[in-house]
Amino acid sequence: MDPSKRGVYPGRFQPIHWGHVKVIEWALQRLSELVIVVGSAQESHTLSNPFTAGERIEMIAAALEDAGIDKSRVWIVPLSDIYMNAVWVRYLAMNVPRFRYAIARNPLVVRLFREAGYEILMPPPFERERFSSTNIRKLMLMGSSEWRNMVPPSVARIIDDIKGVERLREIAGRD
């Protein structure tokens, strides 16, 4: 495969939602391959990062399946944080297949890739207020089932399977 047509898409995906899926589709319309980097891989069982890297990888694979995205064009790589922003892109590049583009909107992430000499592809916001992992976790904590409309059905099934809502509510002391 040609690394000059490959891009990386870092995110925490806590959890992956339809907005992320739209970004993946948008990127694959412009690139031949995408490396989805599951960032903050060391984090789990917290209010901002309830799911493990492994659970998030499962959810991403399921979301790709639901959306009918060709998985042979996508890599999914977990990456722990290093808390040294200046060298983070070099560290990421060491852990993923070679790439030329970075798909990002997060200003810090955009800045770091640009400084490291990569080209940025900035996707538009896809219903950003609604499709947001923060919003989804908030709805889960409130006991609303509305979050189910924001993630692909297989992702909701995995979250049910691992009792994800119960985990989040327990961590928050809601149960």
For residue 48, report the phi and psi dihedrals to the nearest 5 degrees.
-85, -25
Quote the least distance from Cβ 124 to ligand NAP, whole Å. 7
Q: Which is nearer to ligand NAP, 119 or 175 (CB)?
A: 119
The first and second tokens of residue 12, run together, are: 């925490």
Quote the least distance from Cβ 100 to ligand NAP, whole Å. 18
Q: Which is nearer to ligand NAP, 1 or 108 (CB)?
A: 108
Quote the least distance from Cβ 56 to ligand NAP, whole Å. 9
Angstrom distance (rounded) from CA 59 to CA 156: 9
Q: Which is nearer to ligand NAP, 69 or 143 (CB)?
A: 69
Q: Which is nearer to ligand NAP, 6 or 173 (CB)?
A: 6
Using CA of residue 155, residue 156, residue 160, residue 166, what is the dihedral sign?
positive
Strand partners, 7: 34, 101
Q: Where are the alpha helices (DSSP H) in 68-152?
A: 85-95, 107-115, 133-142
Quote the least distance from Cβ 175 to ligand NAP, whole Å. 26
Q: Which is nearer to ligand NAP, 59 or 156 (CB)?
A: 59
Biggest CA-to-CA distance, the chain: 50
Instruction: Please tell me the number of Cα atoms within 13 Å of 33 on its side-chain side.
Output: 18
Quote the least distance from Cβ 29 to ligand NAP, whole Å. 14
Residues at the site binding ligand NAP, with contacts judged by CB under 6 A: 10-13, 19-20, 23, 39-40, 81-85, 88, 104-106, 108-109, 112, 123, 125-128, 131-133
For residue 87, the tally of other CB atoms under 10 A from its CB is 12
